[in-house]
Amino acid sequence: MKQVLLLHALLLYAATGGFAAIIKVHAAANSIHQAIEQAHSGDTLLLQQGFYREHDILVSKKLTITGQGLPVIDGENKYQVFIIAADSVLIQGLQIQHIGKGSVIDMAGIKIINAKCVTIRNNRFINNTYGVYLQNSNRCYIVNNTIHSDTKGEINGGNGIHAWKCEGLGIKGNSISGHRDGIYFEFVTHSYIADNTSFENARYGLHFMFSHNDRYAQNTFMDNGAGVAVMYSRGVVMYDNAFNHNWGDASYGLLLKEITDSKIEHNRFIKNTVGIHMESTTRVDVRHNLFSENGWGVRVQASCSGSNFVENNFIGNSFDVTTNGTMMLNVFNHNYWDKYDGYDLDKNNVGDVSYYPVSVYSVITEKIPPAMILYHSLLTNIMEQVEKVMPSIIPDMLKDDQPMMKKLKL
Amino acid sequence: MRTIIKYVLFDLLRNKTIIVYALILAAITISVSGMGDNASKGLLSLLNITLLFVPIISILFSTIYFFNSVEFTELLLAQPIRRKTMLLAQYAGIAIALSIAYLAGVGIPVCILYYTAATITLLVSGLFLTLIFSALALLIFVLFKDKTKGIGAAIITALFFTLLFDGLLLSFIYSFSDYPVDKPLLGLISLNPVDLARVLVLLQLDVAVMMGYSGALFKKFMGSATGSIYTVICMLCWTVIPLIIAARVFKKKDI
């Protein structure tokens, strides 16, 4: 009992702030450096409004760094700014800008190295090579930041949020634009990406490599150079995201390569050159998605197997599905195709004849890309009609035996 | 020459066929534009219509007209006019009439509904197709004496350019698919004004990216200023060369 009381007393003492001090920092030469040096673990640094020209600020204590009135910390296009090497650090309300570009080290606005439970929230990152850079850091939270760069081009830029070998990250409500990849994951597991907007990045809006058991939901990916890429991962859940207008010669809404046991549900793919491009995937569930006004709705390479395309809406795509072989180990079922012109005699809302979503012209162009020069010519239109009546070139294994007559409610 | 053009023009404008042609084009344009919800799709359908109807109707109508006005031609030739002048004047008259019909039928509605660079390209290509196929009609007229044969030749020519040529092109692509055929394709396409027009317009639309890698090559060439100039020159050649041949043949023709 005595011990419990003592513990209570201790906790009370801690809660009243006996240990934690609040240190106000004003803009002056090396003021942040000095403040961190003087501070003890658990203290709060209040950065006042102003322009701080400081760099390589190593945070090796558990500190809360809060900006008041959006203080600006400038890397002068030469240096990096924060390096966090302590657990449970919180950084909020800062504007970090003009980070330099190094060929030996990746310079970032905030770099988190070997730390746990770091929170970065409500900051602005402007014109940085890398915005937030996480390295071997677990359970960190990157919330409500604006990360923007004017650097154009894939070679010169870094990623908005870059994570390498992390676990249990939470990345929420950020807006990322103008970087190389909006969000980049490599060896990151059990993480959650939600409510982010990633647009106008030079390469991918979101880029996954070897990152297993992650989930991303309610994000918007727009106008990225090559869309979103998810590669060499398993157990990825993609839910309720919008992939809009990733439009260009080499652009995809979603590019999947060697993905296993993943789920793609309730997403919207609108106006992409290719809605989903799948290569060597195994057991991917594609359900309740909308594919609208894409060049190619879904491009399933013959190397994919065990995937289900069930209850999706395909509306106004130039080509609904293409593939590069005759073998098809995936299942299409209960989808709505706006090009379906079969009938439903028993009125059960399921078409009575199978639908072959691969058009003959898409088979030809998949084999011989230059044939695309005949796109929209009278000849190809006639070929489509003929093939509809008598399928001979199109892969007859790829079909929807139960096409829906009406658009599905998703 | 001007007097002849004037007479041909008046005759054609009094002729109901041209007006019907313009009205049909207008009706199709408006209905197609009303259906599609975005400009790009509407323009695509219009492109298909232009590529299908304009060549066939231009060549057929011109051929029939030329053959029907043989007596008028003979009468004119009794006057002190050079044969070449007379022939070109007749061509000019019919080409102008058909162009006006096209501009009125497709041009006016399309410019009101969506006015973009692609629209202009579409109209220019349509006009060129009109000129080219009436020139071909003239050539057919001077080459054949018999009306039936002439009309048959006109139909075959139109089908050749709208359909057959693409079939041959496709089989060419198929048989040489192991080789880089992109550049030869660019050359081959110049041999067909309908394909030239189609590619020119497609490159202005969103769907251009669907042409992928080879599209990038086409775009790099055809989409550039040199490419556009090259295309226009090709189209001009397609108009002028049949006219020159027709004039040459007509000079020595026994009427």
Q: Which of A364, A375, A379 sits opposite B211 (nearest CB)?
A: A375
Q: What percent of chain A has pLDDT over 90?
A: 66
pLDDT tens digit string along A60-109?
999 999 999 999 999 999 999 999 999 999 999 999 999 988 888 889 99
> A-contacting residues of B 34-93, CB under 8 Å?
38, 44, 47-48, 51-52
Residue A251 touches partner B, C-beta closer than 8 Å: yes
Q: Which residues from chain A sit within 8 angstroms of residue B166, using beta carbons?
A: 374, 377-380
Summarize the confidence of residues A108-136 as an average pLDDT.
94
Other C-beta atoms closer than 10 Å to the C-beta of A40 total 12
CB contact under 8 Å between A373 and B51, yes or no, is no
Residue of chain A nearest B180, judged by CA positions: A370
CA distance B224 to chain A (A): 17
Quick one: pLDDT at residue A324?
87
Cα dihedral: A122, A123, A129, A135 (round 10): -60
Taking residues A180-189, what's their average pLDDT?
94
Query: Are A378 and B51 within 8 A, CB to CB?
Result: yes
The CATH number fitting domain A18-389, selected from 2.160.20.10, 3.40.50.970, 3.40.50.720, 3.30.70.60: 2.160.20.10
Q: What pLDDT is attached to residue B114?
A: 76
* Residue A306 zone, left/alpha/beta (φ > 0; ψ -120 to 50; rest): left
Contact B212 A373 (CB under 8 A): no
Interface residue B169 vs chain A (CB under 8 A): yes
B212 vs A377: CB contact, 8 Å cut-off?
Answer: no
Is B210–A379 a contact, with Cβ atoms under 8 angstroms apart? Answer: no
Instruction: Enumerate the residues of chain A whose CB falls inside 8 A of the CB of residue B170.
Output: 364, 371, 374, 379
Position B211 scores a pLDDT of 64
Q: Among partner residues A251, A374, A376, which is closest to B44 by beta-carbon distance?
A: A376
Chain A residues near residue B181 by CB distance under 8 angstroms: 370
pLDDT digits 0-9 by tens, A345-366:
989 999 999 898 888 888 888 8
Q: Taking 60 as the threshold, does the pLDDT of residue A314 lie above it?
A: yes
Going by pLDDT thresholds of 50, 70 and 90, the confidence category of residue A3 is: low
Residues spanned by the domain of B182: 2-252
Beta bridge partners of A276: A254, A298
Within 8 A by CB and 6+ apart from A353, the residues are A342, A343
For chain A, say whether B213 makes contact (Cβ under 8 Å).
yes
Task: Write out chain B's pLDDT in tens, 255 residues.
Answer: 788 888 888 888 888 888 999 999 999 888 887 765 667 777 888 888 888 889 999 999 999 999 998 888 888 888 888 889 989 999 999 999 999 999 999 988 888 877 788 888 899 999 999 999 999 999 999 999 899 999 999 999 999 999 999 999 989 988 988 888 878 888 888 899 999 898 888 888 777 666 665 566 677 777 677 888 888 899 999 999 999 999 999 988 877
Number of domains in chain B: 1
Compute the average pLDDT of residues A260-270: 95
Site from A373, A378, A393 to mutate, B interface, most B CB atoms within 10 angstroms: A373
Type of residue found at B57: I
Nearest CA in chain B to A367: B177
Q: What is the pLDDT of residues A22-63, one digit of tens each?
A: 999 988 888 899 999 999 999 999 999 999 999 999 999 999
Report DSSP state, residue A246: -
Q: Does B191 reach chain A within 8 Å, measured CB to CB?
A: no
Reported as a pLDDT band with limits 50, 70 and 90, residue A17 is: very low
**pLDDT in the model for residue A190:** 95
B218 touches chain A (CB under 8 A): yes
Give B111 to chain A, closest Cα distance, Å: 22
Q: With CB atoms and an 8 Å threshold, state whether B163 touches A378.
A: yes
Q: Which residues contact A123 (CB under 8 A, 6 or more apart)?
A: A67, A91, A92, A93, A94, A95, A96, A109, A110, A145, A146
Look at residue A1 and tell me whether its pLDDT is greater than 60: no
B169 to chain A: which residues are within 8 Å by CB? 373-374
Angle, helices B212-222/B182-189, rounded to nearest 10 degrees: 50
> What are the angstrom distances between the C-alpha of A61 and each of A40, A88, A108, A120, B91?
7, 9, 19, 15, 89
Q: Tell me if chain B has a CB within 8 Å of the CB of A376.
A: yes
Q: Given a cut of 90, is residue A248 above it in pLDDT?
A: no
How much is the pLDDT for A4? 54
Q: Does A385 touch chain B (CB under 8 A)?
A: no
Q: What dihedral angle (degrees, nearest 10) is formed by the CA atoms of B108, B192, B209, B211? A: 150
The complex scores an ipTM of: 0.79
Q: Report which DSSP code applies to A350.
A: B
- What residue segments make up the domains of chain A, in order of their start? 18-389
- What is the reported pLDDT for B124? 92
Q: Is the Cβ pair B173, A251 closer than 8 Å?
A: no
A19, pLDDT greater than 90: no
Spatial separation of the C-alpha atoms in residues A140 and A371, rounded to whole Å: 50
> Do B166 and A369 lie within an 8 Å CB cutoff?
no
Residue A390's pLDDT is 78
pLDDT band at A375 (very low <50, low <70, confident <90, very high): confident
Distance from CA of B118 to the nearest CA of A (A): 16
Q: Compare all CA atoms of chain B with the CA of A246 and give the residue at the minimum distance.
A: B209
Q: What is the pLDDT of residues A382-409, one digit of tens each?
A: 888 888 777 778 888 888 999 999 999 8
pLDDT for B150 equals 94
Render the burial of A6-25: b for 16+ CB within 10 Å, e for the rest. Answer: eeeeeeeeeeeeeebeebeb
Radius of gyration (Cα) for chain B, nearest Å?
19
CB contact under 8 A, A372 and B210: yes
Closest by CA position to A48, among listed A29, A85, A23, A30:
A23
